[in-house]
A = this chain, B = another copy of it.
Amino acid sequence: MNKETILLIDDEQQIRKLLEITLSSNNYKVILAESGKEGILLAANHSPDLILLDIGLPDVNGQEVLKQLRTWFNKAIIVLSVQNNETDIVTALDNGATDYLTKPFRTAELLARIRSAIRKNQHENHKSCTEFGNLQIDFTAHTVKKNGEILKLTTTEFNLLALFIKNEGRVLTHQFILKEIWGVGHQTDTQYLRVFVGTLRKKIEDNYNSPKHIITESGVGYRFT
């Protein structure tokens, strides 16, 4: 069995030590970086399966490191942040973080999220077709079936659903969704989103009043499950 490689970018010695031990003993190969700069370098050389990035780095803004990584690195990046720092987290998600954890975190939770993120990596690979509960989506044919019968979706509705499905389980901020679907310059038109989430829900949810697929994350955005 080949181990998955995890790159940890954190300036605090204790955390590096702690996580190195934890992750190694759970059969991951661990690479350590003390700074954002070093992290970017090591990511390029080792192409890890997952990156753990502490947002509170001293040398560069962690968000900058995240942005730079995301220009070419498309595997999972989990962000570590101190205590409920909402704005940091929202910004990180906007910048392409896969998930986040607030310190101090429980080891079990960390491992669970790592597993989930790596699993998603593999799924994410090329495939024009995917099934999802009672939904089947064909990305190339631009069609969606629910329990076998074709749903009639407008292009915007389809794009939105596709975006949700590509980011299954992730919290997508309003801004992020608006940027992806309507382009930059429409990041404040949250009303569009409310309308289209409404129509999508009517079409894909079994019970429109207690949605199981498109979950609203109050104050932040939506999550597709």
Contact = CB atoms under 8 A, between A and B. Distances in A.
Interface of A: 12-15, 17-18, 40, 43-45, 47, 68, 70-74, 82-86, 103-106, 108, 124-126, 155, 179-181, 183-184, 218
B72 A44 contact: no
Contacts of A126: 108
Contact of A84 (B103, B108, B124, B184): B184
Contacts of A45: 17
Contacts of A12: 71-72
Please state the number of chain copies in the assembly.
2
Contacts of A15: 71-72
A183 B68 CA distance: 28
A139 B137 CA distance: 32
Given A14-B40, A70-B104, A84-B180, 6 more contacts: A71-B103, A83-B184, A84-B179, A84-B183, A108-B126, A155-B218
A178 to B, nearest CB: 10
Contact of A14 (B72, B86, B155): B72
A104 B44 contact: no
